Amino acid sequence: MATEQKTEAAATDGTSAGGDSLTVTDNRTGESYELEITDGTVRAMDLRGIKVNEDDFGLMTYDPAFTNTANCRSAITYVDGEAGILQHRGIPIEQLCEHSTYLEVAYLLGFGELPTQSQLDRWTFDVIHHTFAHEDIKKLNEGFRHDAHPMGMLLASVGALSTFYPDAKRIDDPEERYMAAIRLIAKVPTLAAFAYRHSLGLPYVYPDNELNYSENFLSMLFKMENTYEPDPRLAKALDVLFILHADHEQNCSTAAVRSVGSSQVDPYSAVAAGVAALYGPLHGGANEAVLRMLHEIEKVENIPDFLEGVKNREERLMGFGHRVYKNYDPRARIIKKHVEEVLEATGDNPLLDIATELEKRALDDDFFTSRKLYPNVDFYSGLIYEAMGIPADMFTVVFAIPRTSGWIAQWMEMNGDPEQKIARPRQIYTGDRDEDYVPIADREGPEKITGPPARRPKRPRRGA
């Protein structure tokens, strides 16, 4: 007959919060346990009290890729995938894109509230006056080959910032944290533009304090003569794209920043981890893939064949579907409105005709609608970047610029969270035990050394 006991955590509290609890029976022992349910979760450590005997380590959860594990409490970004809702600090993304600017959203993410006018003025002044990078960063860039991927260069230069600002190691000092936030948000566009200019063998363009954030980035990319006036329609569309990409709760790169930052390393090194994670094709590279797909389709007449290929699983419709958004991606709706404005400024782009027709046909097709596959933000963002003249290998770099504000906001939140410790997952050990050391003369094996077999899915999957 099963006996009932409370797990360690529940027993300490005595009562279940809100009366919500989960009763589980361990069929190995017949014991029942009551686990507290708080905010729709049970604490993994509560399972540790479930043991077969006193020597047993206790039960753990197995959750590769953390698909069902909350790693933190966060008040920064709310996503409801079913309803297509994205809010920062409770404010819908639609309102932010309509009324705000990227720099104001960056403040909102980091400090929890919309700034007053004087706070915004100070914040904007501080960002604009820290956009210059140390001259030695240029020397660092010069060490790269002419064809180095700009994302690899950005990764290196963001990491290098930690050596220029060693005081950032004092992560408990609020002034140091503020300066790190300012410097990262201010300098990442400069580092990104330097990487781009390096790839073209062009002289670097220094920041222009007279321009706003997105205008300044366009100027650092494209300025050729002494004067450069960014088209306000392009600058506005870029600013909206920056807002849309600023934060997306616990995605791969943000989780990387939190995990690395949990070692109490300086924020530049933690954010460099985010850049590294974003570099991967499953995360930041989807808009590049959309563009490649549109080029491969080549003309509107080829769309039916392409869609057949998708249905036969020979192709994937890039820019469609999302791990979280299952009815629509609110970011896609917003950015779609800006595509036309951008093309008005830059001239027609034949890829847009292909994209429009592709979208229309897919949305009329039961294969896609029954699987809840709708356009995501990347279906359009690549088109905008391309129309602006930004090459495809810079797309992920451009994504990293606004995501820096999300990373730093999440890093600051983590640092202030008394429940956070150094991230240190457990494992299920599957290897041998207690084997004897074999002398080299007695060992056998193939001549050729190869890596262990890859266990990745055959088709690379790209997503948030």
Q: Which residues bind ligand CMC (CB under 6 A)?
A: 248, 286, 310, 316-323, 371, 373, 376-378, 461-464
Out of 378, 417, 434, 436, the active site residue is 378
CB of 312 to ligand CMC, least distance (A): 11
φ/ψ of residue 61, rounded to 5:
-100, 150
Tell me whether residue 149 is one of the annotated catalytic residues: no
Minimum distance from CB of 208 to ligand CMC (Å)? 30
Structure tokens belonging to residue 338: 């800006």
Q: Which helix (H) or strand (E) element contains residue 5?
A: strand 4-6
C-beta closer to ligand CMC: residue 65 or 440 = 65
Closest residue by beta carbon to ligand CMC: 321
Does the active-site annotation cover 167? Answer: no
What the block records as the tokens of 83 is 């309803």
Q: What is the DSSP string of 148-185?
A: --HHHHHHHHHHHHHHH-GGGG-TT-HHHHHHHHHHHH
Q: Which is nearer to ligand CMC, 180 or 307 (CB)?
A: 307
CA dist., res. 87 & res. 248, Å (int):
9
- Shorter beta-carbon distance to ligand CMC: residue 337 or 461: 461
Residue 128 structure tokens:
């604009």
Q: Tell me, yes or no, if 88 is annotated catalytic.
A: no
- Count other Cβ atoms within 10 Å, centred on residue 391: 15
Whole-angstrom distance, CA of residue 261 vs CA of residue 259: 5
User: Helix, strand, or coil here: 262?
Assistant: coil
Give whichever of 215 and 378 is closer to ligand CMC, judged by the CB atom: 378
Q: How far is the CB of 222 from ligand CMC (least distance, A)?
A: 26
The one catalytic residue among 88, 245, 248, 283? 283
The answer to whether the CB of 59 falls within 8 A of the CB of 52 is no
Contact at 8 Å (CB) between 42 and 35? yes
Q: Give me the least distance between CB of 374 and ligand CMC, in Å please.
A: 10
In angstroms, give the least distance from the CB of 42 to ligand CMC: 24
CB 321 within 8 A of CB 371: yes
Cβ distance to ligand CMC smaller for residue 169 or 372 = 372
H or E element at residue 85: strand 85-88
Annotated active-site residue in 88, 198, 322, 338: 322
- The residues annotated with a catalytic role in the active site are 283, 322, 378
